[in-house]
Amino acid sequence: MNLNPKWQKNNVNRVHYKDYGSHFTIVKLIKELLPSIDKHIVVVCIGTDRSTGDALGPIVGTNLSELNIPNTSVLGTLEHPVHAVNLEETLAYITNQFDSPFVIGIDACLGKYKSIGMIGISDGPVLPGAGVNKKLLPVGDMNITGIVNVSGYMEYFVLQNTRLNLVMEMAKVISDSVYLAISQHSKHRYLTKVHINKASY
């Protein structure tokens, strides 16, 4: 879990999960940040099911792991979460297991009251643990964050008292959007490759 990421210099595009057409907008924003060359994609969903607000990442990971996403690995689920204790080990596994993959970091976020329910999509890594004053390794070539509650006071307590319904609904929007974005991106890359191969004959 991180705070509303003020640390990030890159622009963050935010969409409320209940906005009309939110899926379409989020899919478009994700596709714009996916690599233009063939790379294996690793989705790292950060958080823990021991805290309702911080369960956003693992719920997204569980949803994605049940789908057949082309050229993609998913780490961080309700059964096998990625959190502060095993984050460094997880990143080492990614380095050893995959050849220069494109990593998407997904995490819960705290922010202003009026921003609750916003989903942020940005280039660059997410900083897990920043919201509760933990210094953990940055994760991702791009990141997706969901603002689940307010920041500024007793963050651990706030996370534990976040509404599960909000987290579940935001996780559904994020996981559906990630699935569609990667699937469409992979199909486009495949068709482009076929077109180039045919043109070379």
The number of distinct structural domains making up the chain is: 1
pLDDT given for residue 2 in this prediction:
64
Q: What is this structure's pTM? A: 0.88
Confidence of residue 68 (pLDDT cuts 50, 70, 90): confident
CATH number at residue 58: 3.40.50.1450
Enclosing domain of residue 59: 2-199
Mean pLDDT, rounded, for 113-130: 92
Burial, 44: exposed, middle or buried (Cβ in 10 Å; 0-12, 13-18, 19+)?
buried
Pairing of strands 41-45, 72-75: parallel
Mean pLDDT, rounded, for 78-97: 96
